[in-house]
Amino acid sequence: MTSQQQPSHASVSQQSSRQTIIAGNWKMFGTAESTRAFAEEMVRDPRLAHASGNGVGVVICPPTPLLHVLRPFCGTFFELGGQDCHQNVNGAFTGDVSAGMLVDAGCRYVIVGHSERRRYHHESDDVVAQKTRAALAAGLTPIVCVGETLEERQAEQTADVVLRQLDAVLQAVSPDQQFVLAYEPVWAIGTGLAASVEQAGEVHQILRKFYRQRVSNDITILYGGSVNATNAKELLAHSDIDGALVGGASLESRSFLAIVEATGV
Ligand code: 13P
């Protein structure tokens, strides 16, 4: 992989749609009670009001049945997101939710192509691309996840894998349809072993360069994989890392707010 000199974060954000975003992916954790307590702690904390008042997008993606618990709290200081959506508008797809249903439930974002969906639900690049298109059509901002496995990294296939995953999405959407990209190396998810700033920054640069060449615009790219209150500041200081997609550390308001604070905004 080659690394390329990029313009500074500040100069890029002025001419493009780059935004600092801290998103929490709760995966299959939480109860109505823990969710209510989380929301009450969040909205009471001045760090959240400060960050969101200064342009940081804060997004919580709980399991679908908990969206309604967060809904009364969202909109001012944080937004809601789904963890997945079906590629069809409706139909006989037991257990699935459509992008339109997530909009009805108060969502503005949806995660698509998370490696856990790719792995456990066998979602191909093509399905992820269709889901991205469905989310955009419903008015959601998709957070599209890409990332390589440990074997792929060791075989020096990282760039090939993440660009193949991004390319599939770009072929399915039009250039003016904006989405958020999340680089989540599979080996860093839930392992406590985050990518180093150099490793993450290098892949972000590769993705950004490819996107700019294809779309003549810029894109918000989040890093995900064992982000926590300790390593967030260093990762977020990299000029190509626009924010974080946080798993485990987003389940408690204390650790999640420390990551929001680490944006330095
Ligand atoms: P962890 O932060 O728990 O490693 O999870 C990352 C992730 O998968 C976010 O989507």
**Tens digits of residue pLDDT in 85-110:** 999 999 999 999 999 999 999 999 99
The domain ranges of the chain are 20-261
**pLDDT, tens digit, 9 for 90 and up, residues 185-199:** 999 999 999 999 999
pLDDT, tens digit (0-9, with 9 covering 90-100), for 224-245: 999 999 999 999 999 999 999 9
Residue 106's region, left for phi above 0, alpha for psi from -120 to 50, else beta, is left
Indicate which atom in ligand 1 lies nearest the CA of residue 249: 2
pTM of the entire predicted model: 0.94
Give me the catalytic one of 116, 148, 184, 261: 184
CA pair distance 27, 56, nearest whole angstrom? 22
Residue 177: count other Cβ atoms within 10 Å of its Cβ: 17
Per residue in 121-180, pLDDT (tens digit) is 999 999 999 999 999 999 999 999 999 999 999 999 999 999 999 999 999 999 999 999
Residue 80, beta-bridge partner list: 60, 107
Question: Which of 84, 150, 181, 227 to mutate to test ligand 1, by most ligand atoms within 8 A of the CB atom?
Answer: 227
Q: What's domain 20-261's superfamily in CATH?
A: Aldolase class I (3.20.20.70)
Whether 184 is catalytic is yes
> Per residue in 107-129, pLDDT tens?
999 999 999 999 999 999 999 99
- Annotated catalytic, 86? no
Buried b or exposed e, range 30-51, using 16+ CB within 10 angstroms: beeebbeebbeebbebebbeeb
Band (pLDDT 50/70/90 cuts) for residue 16 is low
Residue nearest to atom 9 of ligand 1 (CA): 247
Backbone φ, ψ for residue 143 (5° rounding): -105, 100
- Cβ atoms of 242 and 17 within 8 Å: the answer is no
